[in-house]
Structure 1
Amino acid sequence: MDARRSSNNELVAIKKIRRDTHEIQIAQYLSSIQHPHNHTVSILQILDDPVDPDLSLMVMPYLRQCNKPSFGTIGETIDFINQTLEGLAFMHRHNVAHRDIAVENIMMNAQALYPDGHHPVRLNYAPDGIHPVTALPRHDHQIKYYYIDFGLACHFPEGASRYVVGDVGRDTEVPELSSHVPYDAFKVDIFALGNLYSKEFEEKYKDLHFLLPLIERMTKRNPQERPSSEELLAQWVEIRDSQPKHIYRWRLSPKSEPAIGRMINDTVAVALEGINHLKKYVK
């Protein structure tokens, strides 16, 4: 649910959580670490549920799902991969496995895209819920992405085994998930994030072939063949830095888009980009 903090009128999200779970402890632990690669949601407050003594209320900044609105340029995709790989390596470095990575569990602070705000339920409308609003271009603003929902997460003691059991999670394509046979929780995170990159980007859009080497390593069927998150981040930096900078502002062209539609949309995108550049010089 959404609400506003009485102290500063800030829009927040509130999640009800059972007191006997580990989610609050893991979320607070990650939230407490100050580091530029920390892409886990901030925990603002933990409150007692006024009705049910077995529940707590976890208060977080209000965030918006990472792909709403859709990504618009290759550079926006690159930035998303930068941040989510940094965030994964950060969690693993601190011995936390998320275990439920999916597009629904990666959010963004979209305030820069909606300077006058938007309705928390009717997302494409102004705060009044009546007037439609359009997001500003993502590539012209600093957007930060956050992992949320640590309901399945595990925090392992230093040096402890990372093997777990359980066949739950949003990504049902992870091959090793089992309620009986233990598997490496970190390797599940790597597969799930690679699968997200595949489905949300490489399978949908043209001109993202440079993602394939990364995705293929992350989604190996044999978990032991998947690199660590640190190795993947290093590989990604090499891939990213080898891309020419001019492609960053290229429009993401859906593979399903008809040729004539692609030509028209590309022409419009180039024209809008030209207008954007002119606005920077004409006051």
Structure 2
Amino acid sequence: MNDNIEENHSEQIVDSFLRNLPPVDANGLSVYDKWWIKHFEYFKDHGYMMRPRYRPGWKPSYNPEKVFEKLDAEDGQEMIHGDVMDALRMSDSLVVALKLVKVSTGETRMATFFSNDTNNHNPRNHCVRILEVLPLPDEDDKKILVMTWMRPIMDPRFRTIGEGVQFFKEMIEGLQYMHENNVAHRDCSINNVAMDANAMYNRTFHPINTKKRYDWSGKVLHHSRTRRPPRYYLIDFGQSRLYDPSRSRPHEYALRSGGYMPPEGLEGTPCDPFATDVFLLGNLIRTSFLDGDPELFEPGVSGFEFLRPLVMDMIAEDPSKRPTMDEVSSRFSQIVDRLSWWKLRSRAIKNSEYILSKPFRATYHIFWTISMLVLLKPAIPCPKPLH
């Protein structure tokens, strides 16, 4: 009976998803696609070239009724979010994200605040940098934020414990920096952290099918995070708030983030937004690394149990008992300082890894680790300073 209930629930989710998909024309273009196509010349004039699918007069190179043909074609790769488009910056071939935002949300103000001259080159600032803000000639209430195109943090996989430590360090440091500047993110879940992985790739990867080259000429290969360290960023500041440091910080109602509602949100009790941020970051580490997330089919990664005491304090039900980001940062540094070099260089193993492959992966890892030692690569990757 339970199986039937779960099956019916799954069918309801799929039906709901399909009903909410925007209608498409004969070429498979939705109203969102057509909005971007309408603005193609505007973005081109500002130095940004969208892919062939989003150019005026485009016709599919495949049969739109055949799903597998579409998946195999470059111009069949649709944007993931209707308000975010990828494009090539023509001056240097950098793949960027063009994000459509409403002025009323305040996201433009928050995002550009951490990209100004004061904050832009601070190494502790891990908020995504805004390269340019474009006004829209026909929509005064909206703007376009231009930023480097990012990848999900779990793709490609973490190879070592030290690589994971780099990610935790940058996220803790980044959220601490936001709080020092009297800003609460309020939505810092796994959905709103991303990785600038361009350093890891010799060839530009495709923004939608990230295992392929941008020009669709084959698979794209990458170096490890240890050899070519990426950078991690907090993104999406649509719910962020900047507070007046001369006044007592107001309590806010918590928001559902990444599929999780903080305890204070479940109770409907306003709370210090900084304490809610601490919960959300701790929950990110718990669900993406320590325990996994069954809702997202994320199995978790073994080897990070040394963080559990800190994480459990970060996700305490009583917000007043959670550490501040300054305390999180201090405790994290102390924990990492106690880790041996061999622990940091040991494998970060996905909990879903096939058991029979483990001996072979472990053997390969030993030889790979030797190569990293020969190349003098640190156990905790250290990205090059921003220029």
* TM-score between both structures, scaled by the size of structure 2: 0.68
Deviates more, 1:167-176 or 1:28-37: 167-176
Q: Take 1:188 and 1:228, find their aligned partners in 2: how far apart are those partners?
A: 10
Q: Which moved more, 1:217-226 or 1:61-70?
A: 61-70
The Cα of 1:78 is off from its aligned counterpart by 0.6
**1:209 counterpart = 2:305:** yes
Is the aligned partner of 1:177 residue 2:273? no
Q: 1:164 aligns with which of 232, 245, 252?
A: 252
Amino acid in structure 2 at the alignment position of 1:29: F
Structure 1 or 2: more strand by fraction = 1
**Mean Cα displacement is larger for which, 2-11 or 204-213?**
2-11
Q: What is the TM-score with the length of structure 1 in the denominator? A: 0.92
CA displacement, residues 165-200 of structure 1 (integer Å, 9 cap, x when unaligned): 253432424111169531111111111111111111
Percentage of identical aligned residues: 31
Given the alignment, which residue of 85, 94, 97 partners 1:10? 94
1:28 lines up with 2:112 in the alignment: yes
- What's 2:324 paired with? 228
SS in structure 2 at match of 1:56 = strand
Deviations 1:100-154 (A, max 9, x none): 1112211111111112211111101111124112321111123211110001111
Question: Which residue among 351, 357, 362 is the counterpart of 1:255?
Answer: 351
The code of the aligned residue for 2:368 comes to L
Say which is worse superposed, 151-160 or 223-232, in terms of deviation.
Answer: 151-160
State how 1:50-89 maps to structure 2 within 5 Å. Answer: 50-89=137-176
Q: Is the 8 A contact 2:186 2:254 kept in 1?
A: no
The alpha-carbon deviation at position 209 of structure 1 amounts to: 1.5
- The 1-side partners of 2:88 and 2:267 are apart by 40
- Larger CA deviation: 140-149 vs 201-210: 201-210
Deviation readout 1:16-48 (Å, 9 max, x if unpaired): 011222111111112221311000011111111
Code of the aligned partner of 2:310:
L
Letter in 1 for 2:235: I
CA contact (8 A) 1:122 1:129 kept: no
CA distance in 2, matches of 1:130, 1:152: 39
Residue identity in the other structure for 1:22: G
2:202 touches 2:221 (CA, 8 Å); kept in 1?
no
Distance 1:180 1:221, change over 3 A: closer
Superposed CA deviations along residues 74-111 of structure 1, whole A, max 9, x for unmatched, are 01011111111000100000011111111221111111
Amino acid of the structure 1 residue aligned with 2:187: D
Which residue does the alignment assign to 2:286? 198
Match of 1:124 among 202, 211, 215: 211
Which of the pair has more CA radius of gyration? 2
CA distance in structure 2 between the aligned counterparts of 1:278 and 1:23, rounded to whole angstroms: 45
Are the counterparts in 2 of residues 67 and 103 from structure 1 also a CA contact under 8 Å?
no
Q: Distance in 2 between matches of 1:108 and 1:243?
A: 25
What's the secondary structure of 2:316's corresponding residue? coil
Name whichever of 76-85 and 46-55 sits farther off: 46-55
Question: Distance in 1 between the 2:208 and 2:137 partners?
Answer: 24
Name the structure 1 match of 2:9.
none
1: CA distance between counterparts of 2:203 and 2:371?
23
- Alpha carbons of structure 1 residues 85 and 172: separation in structure 2 relative to 1, 3 Å: same
Deviations for 1:206-228, whole angstroms, at most 9, x for unmatched residues?
32221111111111111110010
Cα distance in 2 between the residues matched to 1:199 and 1:62: 25
Quote how far apart the aligned CAs of 1:278 are: 6.5
Q: Secondary structure at the match of 1:25?
A: helix
Provide the secondary structure at the position in 1 that maps to 2:147. strand
* Greater Cα offset, 150-159 or 257-266: 257-266
Residue 270 of structure 1 deviates from its aligned partner by 1.8
Structure 2 residue identity aligned to 1:165: Y
Alignment gaps of 5+ in structure 2: 1-84, 292-299, 377-387
2-structure distance, mates of 1:52, 1:241: 52
- Whether the aligned pair in 2 keeps the contact of 1:167 and 1:179 (CA below 8 Å) is no
Paired residues, what number? 280
Give the Cα separation in 1 of the matches to 2:265 and 2:366. Answer: 45
SS in 1 for 2:157: coil
**Which residue number in structure 2 is paired with residue 19 of structure 1?**
103
| Secondary structure, aligned partner of 1:42 | coil
- CA deviation vs aligned residue, 1:39-76 (integer Å, no higher than 9, x gap): 00111111112442321111112222221112111010
Say whether residues 1:110 and 2:197 are aligned partners. Answer: yes
Q: State which drifts further: 241-250 or 179-188.
A: 179-188
Cα RMSD, aligned residues only? 2.0
Bigger shift: residues 270-279 or 90-99 = 270-279
User: Unaligned stretches of 5+ in structure 1?
Assistant: none
Q: Contact between 1:24 and 1:58, CA under 8 Å: does it hold in 2?
A: yes
- 2:52 aligned partner: none
